[in-house]
């Protein structure tokens, strides 16, 4: 990513020419990922459905505490001026922006929204093509031949070759001491929960072709959301917020146990996790933070009585699907907040920060020893009507914009009074597995 903007004026001044946007139906392509170019692929895909995009019709970079509000204002300006003909009318048709935002308002990573020139989307057997022009008027309807020509020009996906791993900001063996400081702060009553993370640096033999990693993530972790936005890639199991015609959904995860690879043993571990008071406590803080953040915007919020166990290939998580209906609360009578505004209101949940939020953020700043950049921040897309989907950028890596062989991989763990630092280190290793597997060439 180029240097972020952190003043409102520059963010506001990057309005493009009015966009001319046309969406037409397509026969559903079998495989969205096979359409991606090597250069700057944009991706939000789960179980074969979702959006892929390429090219750049418009872009804004934002920074600081106002990063979400500035991005929102820019997007409203873009869609307010756009000429749109949408022949499909589903979530994700018409103009969309892919985005990702830094975890911490102080991070230089800031945030970005990108409007692709071409988007192909797929949902429940329906598919569409959106083409965005930056000059001119609505022309002839595009069709599959445009995508076919694009695909014919794609380079084959390249494997990255051997990968070398090195410590990030904190050596792995030193990280339990960081966790121990978190536990001590909790036991002394400073806060209830903190989520502490660490990074590691991967260096690939060949420049990374992001498509290689995305394919492996999507194949191995089909229940997660595989994403790629401006050099941030991953497969997150955690949905911060989906907003779809007034219905809001959030998949909250917190509380983890590693898988053994043996199905019977893993079933026993799922039962242990479902009854672990330490993990249930971690989970409860995360769910409460989501319910609290949604309350001002929603007339009703449904929080399941107890979490279910989400099975992923590397770990099992406690999970709760929280749903809510927009309207009522403090927002009574006003326009519905967009999915981006909801993501801003929810971020950071106690699944990635802690409880109370401010105390946890301060502790993270003082003991974690690294800049999380866009790890653990919102990543996803927003449409012209404000509906969209935003995940939390977990199980992720950030490419070095100056070196296509270098990436930072991230993993974090929720810490409560009963946490054991050595066990948290093992859990963080398990959470690095998806990205490590994504980079492998076997
Ligand atoms: C912070 C991460 O995971 C969060 C999501 C699920 C379970 C978590 C846990 O059990 O600690 C974390 O709250 C991460 O993967 O980097």
**Ligand 1: residue whose CA is nearest its atom 8:** 254
**CA of 255, closest atom in ligand 1:** 10
Q: Which of 183, 314, 352 to mutate to test ligand 1, by most ligand atoms within 8 A of the CB atom?
A: 352
Is the pLDDT score of 317 beyond 60? Answer: yes
333 falls in which pLDDT band (50, 70, 90)? low
pLDDT digits (tens, 9 = 90+) for 349-389: 999 999 999 999 999 999 999 999 999 999 999 999 999 99
**CA of 431, closest atom in ligand 1:** 15
pLDDT digits (tens, 9 = 90+) for 126-141: 999 999 999 877 778 8
Judge contact between 370 and 200, C-beta under 8 A. Answer: no
d(CA 282, ligand 1 centre) in Å? 10
The mean per-residue pLDDT over the stretch 132-155 comes to 90
pLDDT digits (tens, 9 = 90+) for 239-251: 999 999 999 999 9
Q: Which of 373, 378, 431 to mutate to test ligand 1, by most ligand atoms within 8 A of the CB atom?
A: 431
Pocket of ligand 1 (CB under 6 A): 195, 197, 238, 253-256, 282, 317, 351-352, 394-395, 411-414, 431
92 falls in which pLDDT band (50, 70, 90)? very high
Is the pLDDT score of 16 beyond 90? Answer: no
Is the pLDDT score of 345 beyond 90? Answer: yes
**What ipTM is given for this predicted complex?**
0.99
Q: Which of 200, 232, 256 to mutate to test ligand 1, by most ligand atoms within 8 A of the CB atom?
A: 256
d(CA 231, ligand 1 centre) in Å? 21
Question: Residue 143's pLDDT is what?
Answer: 87
Determine whether 193 is an active site residue: yes
d(CA 351, ligand 1 centre) in Å? 6
Q: Which of 370, 375, 394, 409 to mutate to test ligand 1, by most ligand atoms within 8 A of the CB atom?
A: 394
The mean per-residue pLDDT over the stretch 327-339 comes to 74
Of 193, 368, 424, 431, which residue is the catalytic one? 193
| d(C-alpha 328, C-alpha 296), whole Å | 8
**Ligand 1: residue whose CA is nearest its atom 10:** 255
pLDDT digits (tens, 9 = 90+) for 275-306: 999 999 999 999 999 999 999 999 999 999 99
Q: In the numeric block, which tokens belong to residue 413?
A: 């763990």
314 prior amide bond cis, ω within 30:
no
Task: Give strand pairing partners of 214.
Answer: none
Question: Residue 8's pLDDT is what?
Answer: 38
Q: In the numeric block, which tokens belong to residue 88?
A: 């499909």
The mean per-residue pLDDT over the stretch 336-346 comes to 97
Q: Is 285 exposed, middle or buried (0-12, 13-18, 19+ CB in 10 A)?
A: buried
Question: Residue 30's pLDDT is what?
Answer: 84
**CA of 414, closest atom in ligand 1:** 11
d(CA 287, ligand 1 centre) in Å? 13
d(CA 45, ligand 1 centre) in Å? 21
**Ligand 1: residue whose CA is nearest its atom 7:** 254
Q: In the numeric block, which tokens belong to residue 74?
A: 């820019």
Is the pLDDT score of 329 beyond 70? Answer: no
Residue range(s) in the chain whose domain bears CATH number 3.60.120.10 = 163-439
Of 238, 282, 389, 424, which residue is the catalytic one? 238
Question: Residue 303's pLDDT is what?
Answer: 97
d(CA 54, ligand 1 centre) in Å? 30
Percentage of the residues of the chain whose pLDDT score is greater than 70:
95
Give residues with Cβ within 8 angstroms of 255, minimum separation 6: 273, 276, 278, 279, 280, 282, 283, 307, 317, 318, 414
| d(C-alpha 94, C-alpha 181), whole Å | 49
Question: Bigger pLDDT: 331 or 294?
Answer: 294
d(CA 253, ligand 1 centre) in Å? 7
CATH fold label, 163-439: Anthranilate synthase (3.60.120)
Is the pLDDT score of 22 beyond 70? Answer: yes
Give residues with Cβ within 8 angstroms of 94, minimum separation 6: 21, 23, 84, 86, 130, 383, 384, 385
Q: In the numeric block, which tokens belong to residue 181?
A: 């400081």
* Average pLDDT of the chain, as a whole number: 94
pLDDT digits (tens, 9 = 90+) for 160-203: 999 999 999 999 999 999 999 999 999 999 999 999 999 999 99
């Amino acid at each position: 990513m180029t240097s972020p903007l952190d003043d409102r004026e520059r963010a506001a001044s990057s309005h493009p020419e009015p966009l001319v946007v046309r969406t037409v139906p397509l026969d559903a392509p079998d495989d969205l990922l096979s359409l991606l170019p090597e250069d700057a692929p944009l991706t939000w895909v789960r179980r074969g459905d979702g959006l892929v995009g390429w090219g750049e019709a418009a872009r804004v970079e934002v920074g600081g505490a106002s990063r979400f509000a500035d991005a929102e204002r820019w997007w409203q300006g873009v869609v307010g001026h756009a000429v749109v003909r949408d022949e499909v009318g589903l979530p994700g048709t018409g103009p969309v922006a892919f985005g990702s935002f830094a975890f911490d308002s102080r991070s230089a990573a800031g945030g970005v929204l990108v409007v692709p020139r071409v988007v192909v989307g797929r949902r429940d057997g329906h598919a569409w093509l959106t083409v965005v022009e930056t000059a001119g008027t609505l022309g002839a309807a595009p069709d599959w031949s445009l995508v076919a020509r694009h695909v014919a020009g794609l380079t084959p996906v390249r494997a990255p070759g051997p990968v070398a791993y090195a410590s990030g900001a904190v050596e792995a063996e030193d990280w339990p001491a960081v966790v121990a400081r978190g536990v001590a702060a909790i036991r002394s009553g400073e806060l209830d929960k903190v989520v502490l993370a660490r990074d590691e640096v991967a260096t690939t033999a060949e420049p990374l072709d992001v498509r290689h990693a995305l394919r492996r993530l999507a194949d191995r972790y089909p229940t997660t959301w595989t994403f790629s936005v401006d050099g941030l890639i991953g497969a997150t199991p955690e949905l911060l917020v989906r907003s779809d015609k007034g219905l809001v959904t959030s998949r909250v995860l917190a509380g983890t146990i590693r898988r053994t690879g043996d199905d019977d043993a893993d079933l026993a571990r799922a039962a242990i996790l479902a009854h672990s008071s330490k993990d249930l406590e971690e989970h409860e803080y995360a769910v409460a933070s989501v319910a609290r953040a949604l309350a001002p915007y929603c007339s009703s919020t449904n929080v399941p009585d107890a979490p279910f166990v989400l099975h992923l290939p590397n770990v099992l998580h406690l999970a709760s699907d929280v749903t809510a209906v927009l309207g009522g609360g403090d927002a009574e009578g006003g326009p519905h907040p967009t999915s981006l505004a909801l993501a801003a209101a929810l971020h950071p949940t106690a699944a990635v920060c802690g409880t109370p939020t401010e105390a946890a953020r301060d502790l993270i700043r003082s003991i974690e020893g690294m800049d999380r950049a866009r790890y653990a921040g919102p990543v996803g897309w927003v449409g012209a009507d404000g509906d969209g989907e935003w995940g939390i950028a977990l199980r992720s890596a950030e490419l070095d914009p100056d070196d296509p062989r270098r990436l930072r991989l991230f993993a974090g763990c929720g810490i409560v009074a009963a946490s054991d630092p050595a066990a948290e280190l093992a859990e963080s290793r398990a959470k690095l597995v998806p990205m490590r597997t994504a980079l492998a060439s076997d």
